[in-house]
Amino acid sequence: MKRSASEIIHNLERRIFHLERRASLNCYPKHLRGTQHKGANMSTVADTIVQQLGGSRVLQMFIGLKQILTASDAVTLVFPLPKHRNAVNRVRITLNEMDLYDMEFIRSVKHGRSVKVVKEFNDVYAEDIKDRFEEGTGLYIRF
């Protein structure tokens, strides 16, 4: 089946249009959308925080990210509880009034019935957010 050059160009333009539209919507996989904003896009603050950590795909591959819960100025990352001592399975990252981040590392057991803040960092710069994440969880999110 031979196609003309104009048909091929038209198909390529249509594909590019759909890819650009999908990228501009900040679409996340359905299983990673938070319960607080079901079906809606993440807030810009939460999206920025996730991108500074490497993106939702990287977090899903490295730490087994299950869910992203968003708020107006915060994001909570939920992942399986690791086996090591003082392990955490939730990280809440909040943008504070000084445009810095506050990070809480939370151990939640039995569907949130037992919640304990294990470690906390205040006034973290954006470039240090990956280092503090790795220090607080004991899990690596980069090579």
pLDDT tens column, 113-129: 788 899 999 999 999 99
The residues near 70 (Cβ < 8 Å, ≥ 6 apart) are 34, 36, 37, 42, 43, 46, 76
Q: What is the pLDDT of residue 139?
A: 87
Give pLDDT, residue 142: 85
* pLDDT given at position 39: 37
Tokens, residue 33 = 């959308």
Query: What's this model's pTM, rounded to 2 decimal places?
Result: 0.69
Q: Report helix angle 129-137 to 44-52, nearest 10.
A: 70
pLDDT tens for residues 56-109?
Answer: 888 999 988 988 998 888 999 998 888 877 789 999 999 999 999 999 999 987
Sequence spans of domains, the chain: 29-137
Burial status of residue 55 (CB atoms within 10 A of its CB: 0-12, 13-18, 19 or more): middle
Predicted confidence at residue 1, as pLDDT, reads: 61
Residue in the structure block whose two tokens are 């915060």? 74
At 49 the pLDDT is: 92
**54 vs 143, which has greater pLDDT?**
54
pLDDT in tens, 17-58: 766 666 555 555 554 444 443 334 567 888 999 999 998 888
Rounded to the nearest 5 degrees, what angle is found at the Cα of 131, between the Cα atoms of 125 and 76?
75
Give the per-residue pLDDT at 37.
Answer: 39
Computed over every residue of the chain, the mean pLDDT equals 81
Question: Rounded to an integer, what distance in angstroms lies between the CA atom of residue 45 and that of residue 68?
Answer: 13
CA atoms within 13 A on the CB side of 57: 2
Separation CA 70–CA 36 (nearest Å): 6
